[in-house]
Amino acid sequence: MKLIIRLVLGIVAGVLIGLFLPEVVTKALVTFKGVFGEFLNFTVPLIILFYVMSGIGSMQKGSGRMLGLTLFFSYASTIAAGVLAFLVAREVLPVLVNTSAENVTQGAIITPWISIDLPPILSVATALVTAFMFGMGVSVTRSRELLELMDHARDIVELVLLKVILPGLPLYICSVFAEMGASGTVFSTLSTFAWVLGMAIILHWVWLLILFSIVGAGTGRNPLNMMKIMMPSYITAVGTLSSAAAIPVTVDCARKLRLNAHVVDFAIPLCATIHLSGSAITLTVCASAVMLMSATGLVSIGVFFPFLMTLGVTLVAAPGIPGGAVMASIGLLVSMLGFDDSAVALMIALYLAQDSFGTACNVTGDGAIATIVDYIGADRWEHAEGDSRHRHTENQSQG
């Protein structure tokens, strides 16, 4: 929540600087924006490489069927939610967003004093394929040394995120809005923010209703009652902005759905890193709005669907910090949708403004995923839990 407050203050300060202060101040901020943007683009492939590699490598071996079902339904839910959001955004946003490409590009162009070229070590695609290959290899071979190396590398990248990138985001976004204030496009951009945020939150609830209705119809449960039971998890995620922090409450809610304890203990923590339907909705709506405000315009579903498919993999084990999903998606936004530095900054501001609600949608939907996994393999899970209890009893007796 402190980060969101700082981002809001950054937006306000940027608007005031761009409108009322001398151009030299805006020029200094635009220079910072260029340098910070280059460092951000340099860091993104490392975020994808080490977080996705560590996340996949940490997946449990020996629960193959349950793992496969959880992965399948989580990924399907994430992609379907993104497709729904895109179809709605394509029809609704052009009516709500009154900013055209001409409005965005009008006004003075502020050039930086210096520019730094900092090419990434890996491309986004190379980082993603490398992370998936090594992550799956470690998951199968259970190489403890390599997994520890992955985890240490992830910790270093997270330290950079926490100590450098996140503290710099408010000033980064301030520079973008200062530039828009100087060029006369800031008010049309701000008017778009309210529509986009409201639309994303509405779509979160629409998707939760659809998801629980489908699961309820398949399992014979009342979807509204299931959603009611999961509400403490939703509220917790709104307050913490973290799927990981909400895991204990989500587990407790899932147990109240009368699911197998073995399924709950396995599926809920896993879904916290792979089921990101709320994040997909938010990223889709925000990206659509940013594209409408740029010269490129909104892309077709044929262009956006591959982005969604790749995004669903990239978001695996996204950093457990505010804005982790949007940070992991920046590389794809640039490489697949053609976002520039200003578009990326707008994307970050839009996403983080409602990050807590997207996270809440993610964790609430975890209850639906666990329910369908439990229903499909009920007999198998009961047998597995019985064997586990039997081994635990034997160990106690031998002790």
Q: How far apart are CA 285 and CA 31, in angstroms?
A: 29
Q: Residue 297 — left, alpha, or beta (φ > 0 → left; ψ -120 to 50 → alpha)?
A: left
Cα–Cα separations (whole angstroms), residue 34 to 104, 162, 337, 340: 19, 20, 20, 11
Q: Residue 80 — left, alpha, or beta (φ > 0 → left; ψ -120 to 50 → alpha)?
A: alpha
| pLDDT top residue among 205 and 380 | 205
Q: How far apart are CA 161 and CA 167, in angstroms?
A: 8
What is the tens place of the pLDDT at every residue in 84-100?
Answer: 999 999 888 887 765 44
The whole-number average pLDDT for the span 102-121 is: 68
Question: Is the pTM above the cut of 0.75?
Answer: no
Question: Looking at the predicted structure, is the pLDDT value of residue 10 above 90?
Answer: no
* C-alpha distance across the termini of the chain, in Å: 49
pLDDT at 204: 95
| CA dihedral angle for residue 299, residue 302, residue 303, residue 304, rounded to 10 degrees | 80
pLDDT band at 205 (very low <50, low <70, confident <90, very high): very high
What is the tens place of the pLDDT at every residue in 259-273?
Answer: 888 788 778 877 877
pLDDT at 14: 86
pLDDT band at 217 (very low <50, low <70, confident <90, very high): very high
Residues 6+ apart with CB under 8 A from 35: 114, 115, 116
| CA dihedral angle for residue 204, residue 357, residue 199, residue 197, rounded to 10 degrees | -160
What is the tens place of the pLDDT at every residue in 17-45?
Answer: 888 888 888 889 889 888 888 887 788 78
Mean pLDDT of the chain: 79
Length of the chain: 399
pLDDT at 73: 92
Strands of the chain, DSSP E: none
pLDDT at 321: 58
What is the tens place of the pLDDT at every residue in 288-328?
Answer: 888 887 766 778 888 899 999 988 887 765 655 556 778 77
Rg (CA), the chain: 22
pLDDT at 225: 93
Q: Which two tokens stand for residue 369?
A: 């995923």
- Closest of 334, 319, 52, 355 to residue 161, by C-alpha: 319
Q: How far apart are CA 234 and CA 202, in angstroms?
A: 14
Would you say 111 and 28 are in contact if contact means Cβ atoms under 8 Å apart? no
Helix 186-219 with 277-292: angle, nearest 10 deg: 150
Question: Looking at the predicted structure, is the pLDDT value of residue 62 above 80?
Answer: no
Q: How far apart are CA 55 and CA 15, in angstroms?
A: 39
Q: How far apart are CA 10 and CA 237, in angstroms?
A: 24
pLDDT band at 168 (very low <50, low <70, confident <90, very high): confident
Long-range contacts of 301-308, Cβ-Cβ distance < 8 Å, separation of 24 or more: 301/83, 301/86, 301/87, 301/90, 303/336, 303/337, 304/86, 304/337, 305/83, 306/336, 307/332, 307/336, 307/337, 308/79, 308/82, 308/83, 308/86, 308/280, 308/284
Q: Residue 118 — left, alpha, or beta (φ > 0 → left; ψ -120 to 50 → alpha)?
A: beta
Q: How far apart are CA 238 and CA 341, in angstroms?
A: 29
pLDDT band at 369 (very low <50, low <70, confident <90, very high): very high
Would you say 215 and 196 are in contact if contact means Cβ atoms under 8 Å apart? no
| CA dihedral angle for residue 334, residue 43, residue 135, residue 358, rounded to 10 degrees | -60
Burial class (CB in 10 A: 0-12, 13-18, 19+), 81: buried
Residues 6+ apart with CB under 8 A from 4: 322, 352, 353, 355
Q: How far apart are CA 285 and CA 303, in angstroms?
A: 15
Q: Which two tokens stand for residue 302?
A: 């044929």
pLDDT band at 3 (very low <50, low <70, confident <90, very high): low
pLDDT at 109: 67
- Dmax (CA) of the chain: 80
pLDDT band at 391 (very low <50, low <70, confident <90, very high): very low
Question: Looking at the predicted structure, is the pLDDT value of residue 188 above 70?
Answer: no
Q: Which domains does the chain have, with CATH numbers?
A: 2-385 (1.10.3860)
